[in-house]
Structure 1
Amino acid sequence: MISSKLKYIAVSFLCVATACNTSAQKEEVTKENSEISTTEKQWMIGPFERPENAQPIIQRDTTATFDDPMTGEEVVWQSMATFNPAAIVKDGKINVLYRAEQDRHTDTIGGHTSRIGLATSEDGITYERAEKPIFYPDNDDQKEFEWTGGTEDPRIIESEDGTYVLTYTQWNRKTPRLALATSKDLKNWTKHGPVFQDFKDGKYHDMDTKSGAIVTQLKEGKLVATKINGKYYMYFGVPHIWLATSTDLVDWQPVEDYAGNLAPVLSPRPGYFDSWLVEAGPPPVLTEDGIVVLYNAGNSKNIGVEDLGNRVYTSGQALFDANEPWKLLDRTDKPYLKPELPFEKSGQYKDGTTFVEGLTYFEGKWYLYYGTADSMVGMATAEAK
């Protein structure tokens, strides 16, 4: 999200990271004000609700250590923050892959090192964390793209043959690049490098890219990658959302217009909550109504929604045609999720964020996972329709 210094948004800022104030976060939230969905459209996924007395499900850990391949030293790998989660169901458990930042003693957002940790849950309520990161910048053939900023902001899907496909941001403190890795067990990973490195001799290789969300479909109670007219589709990018296609989930080609330029399929709207930027969220879902894209939205209050303030991240939904994934059919006029609780307005991004990246289907419910203020992980659920 913010950590990769999005040069085309042309905004830089400093904020002082605040420690987690656990007592303040334990304010009771009644079920009435925990409902976070606004006026519903029939095609939307939801409405989503926070749990009663909602609290973050994952927070920073100042004790867990890891032997860092970059420095050869033992580091406290999630001492700064834990946020921006992906989610997948495996072996009857929800697996939450979250971005964990190591505190590098700087106040600059993007100045820390990110790795990806894993938390699992058998009931969707309690989560057990792995002691070590499961995905990280290593002494491998991707270090030029991942040292020393790290591996950030995961999204994950499962293919029909059971392969897990991870999209993430490689951050070398120069250019954020959308990259991809695959695994059969969520532990052993093959990194395939920057997604657009070889397309048209690297035309988009040095362009800031991120947030790759591959279209899925619910089949027999399980979300899996799905083809549309023989191709997989991926929504990606910020401050606009673009499209890419693939036949194998590894090699991707951006969708261009007749002039050879990226063709935005969703853009910011003056006058709305998404007036500053839009960014792909968790893997979209192909439904009987079309492709439902859950996206993140940034506000610019002078041309957007004044009450939200500047740079506040909320979440919207958009509907695209099932056969023409570039064709926008409808989108929400108000966010279905926005920062409201204390832990959603604290930490590195005190203006507030509810940054959605993880969506999965578990025991008849939708589970939505989001990053809060670049600091913690929140969760909301919705009954299946």
Structure 2
Amino acid sequence: MHLSGSPTRPPRSRMPRALRTLGNPLEWTDIQKTILIFFPPIPFTLFYLYRVNGLLADPTVEPYISRPALATTHSFLVGILSAFSGLFVLWFVLRRREGTHDLFVRAVIHSWFVLMGLGAYLVGPFSTPVLIGYQAGGMAVFLLFDVRRAAQGGLVGLLVIVGTTILERAGLLLYGPVFSSVVFAGERPPDVWVYLNLAFTVVLTAAVLAGTGLAMALARARQEEINELLATDVLTGLANRRGLEDMLEREITRAQRFDAPLAVVMLDLDHFKRVNDTHGHRAGDAVLQAVGEVVASHLREVDAAGRYGGEELLLVLPEAELSGARAAAERVCAAIRALVVEHDEHALRVTASAGCAALVPGQPRSGEQLVRAADAALYRAKERGRDRVEVETDPAP
């Protein structure tokens, strides 16, 4: 078998496929993240403009809707669209320039909360759509940016809501000036209120649920990738010692609970130091990468393999007795013996020695004891000429 010394592929990304080309938004730069704050409100603003235009043209809403206030709302929404469009143009310019652009980031965060606070004043801050939108935006800001800047923006938005409420209670402002009279007072609410409230609530709720689900999926995918990286040896692509020990302890617990067989194989490359001394450490790395691929390709799906240290590999073989472990080790050693690694116009060959140990029913053993037994068998294989497999002579603890 001929293999080149190409790097082992990194663990496969668990991010949703549709977002892999964009990357994880949680890992974007702050200037890139700001588009997630000021761009999503644009379609919502367009939707609200559509509804406002419809209300302005509907004579049946006259008893409930203040047309002057609604006209002000229309102007306010146009202003929001203009502001966000301007932010988008500025964002497009700044994202290509170096720097943190902290002032722009803060401006976007604060603008969002201020505009939400002013929008809440127009229709009443305690309506369901306002509460959903405000909470969703706040959650997104805290998720994307550092706590200090997010908290500052949130505080500014709360000050706007609290301030307008205080002025309303003092008689200086009207509560929900869009509505010219009480929408309902112990009676069936009018259709305009029901449908308007329902439309805003459904759209915002759907957006919040989609955004929350996406954020959680990204966070879970990232955490799984981190966990996999923490348990993976970067050079070989196999598990590292920490990951192996965790897997071994889980398999021992399972085997002892169900009285199932379990075996381990400690494998060491013979005279590996000569490869490093003669051809350099890059050559040694190429050999370890190739050996990792060979080992992984000769194991069952339920088996686990990893780099235990240096040129030592440990195989964990569930549902395998000592004889099965020996057979698996013989196959792996034969594949390594047949391996030829091409590196810098040199054909590199190595052999491996292996030691096997297994759990014995009725005789509990820890992972450390099992590995120690396999290591002792490996030592005998080295003493008896290398390039061979030995099994533990006395499996009792």
Which TM-score band applies after superposition, normalised by the shorter structure? Answer: under 0.3
Q: When the two structures are superposed, what TM-score results if normalisation uses the length of structure 2?
A: 0.21
Q: When the two structures are superposed, what TM-score results if normalisation uses the length of structure 1?
A: 0.21
More helix by share: 2
Give the structure with higher Rg (CA).
Answer: 2
More strand by share: 1
